[in-house]
Amino acid sequence: MASSTDITYPTTGTPTSSSSTTSLLLLLPQEIRDIIYSHVLREPHGLIADSSAYPNTRTRLLPFNSASPLRRESNQLRLVNRQLHRETSGLGLYFNDLTFADTWRYDTNLVTAFDHFTRFANSCPPYLVSRIRKITLLDTSTFNACYASDVLSYSAHFKPAILPFCRKYPHAKVVVRLAWGDATLAKDYVACMDALAWKLRGMSPLPRMDGSGRAHARGLCRKFAFECPRNLRFSCTTKFYEEKAREELRGGCEGVGLEQLVGVVRRMHESGV
């Protein structure tokens, strides 16, 4: 079976065949078609919203591959004919994680990951939105804001679309990746994850963290002044810093080894707290 990257159909978004043409694929049993769709439409790194799109335009979801600058239609099957267009439309939302990232544009102000998701959610039919299983928001714009005011509320970012989505679709997970520690947390990386878990969930899978790092992390968490649904998750950084985690956890604690603790922090980052 060829992967989706091997298919070279036109990428204009318009089916190339009329509705009277029957695809041989559609003659297969539904169970077989579902297996094929899962293979062809599943991207290794999921899908990311096209950040170059202008406001008030349809959000395009492109294969998320940082190693390739090429932009292509993620669902090549929908370009074959109208029958496959109807049958596969929206399946990429089910088979792939979706990523939305902040965009800095020369011609407009900052367009946040929340703005991109809000535009997508408002323009997407509810039956398609209900297929979403996981969303990642790369929120790099709140790094400086977390130091601006102790009373700064983070809830304004979530009220327009994120909180309603999480409450309406509890089966879907939303992971917000902050940029608190990408440059400055130093040895406070694990302490911040621990403090965030206590702030949002009232517990943490890590041993209690002590010292100035925990106090600093508690300060960062003051902005979470809203009720957080279980399926709205957070990580303190946009990527997992294994060496930072090892440095802070080195020596482990009684009865728990270093590798086990690093694994806990990795899972906290990947799944959010």
Per-residue pLDDT of the chain (273 residues; tens, 9 = 90+): 333 333 333 344 545 444 445 667 778 888 888 888 888 888 888 888 876 656 666 677 888 875 454 556 667 676 667 777 777 777 888 888 899 988 876 656 778 888 889 888 888 888 889 989 999 999 887 654 444 443 345 666 777 788 899 999 999 999 999 877 665 555 578 888 888 888 888 888 887 655 555 565 566 666 666 678 899 998 888 889 898 888 888 765 555 688 888 999 999 999 999
pLDDT for 166: 92
C-alpha to C-alpha distance for 100 and 102, rounded to whole angstroms: 7
C-alpha to C-alpha distance for 233 and 229, rounded to whole angstroms: 8
pLDDT for 72: 62
pLDDT for 219: 61
Residue 17: CB atoms within 10 Å: 15
pLDDT for 5: 34
C-alpha to C-alpha distance for 163 and 118, rounded to whole angstroms: 11
Q: Is 68 exposed, middle or buried (0-12, 13-18, 19+ CB in 10 A)?
A: exposed
Domain ranges of the chain: 25-271
- Distance between the two ends of the chain, CA-based, in angstroms? 38
C-alpha to C-alpha distance for 7 and 23, rounded to whole angstroms: 15
Digit-coded pLDDT (tens) for 209-246:
555 555 655 666 666 666 788 999 988 888 898 988 88
What's the distance, CA 217 to chain centroid?
23
The pTM assigned to this predicted structure is 0.75
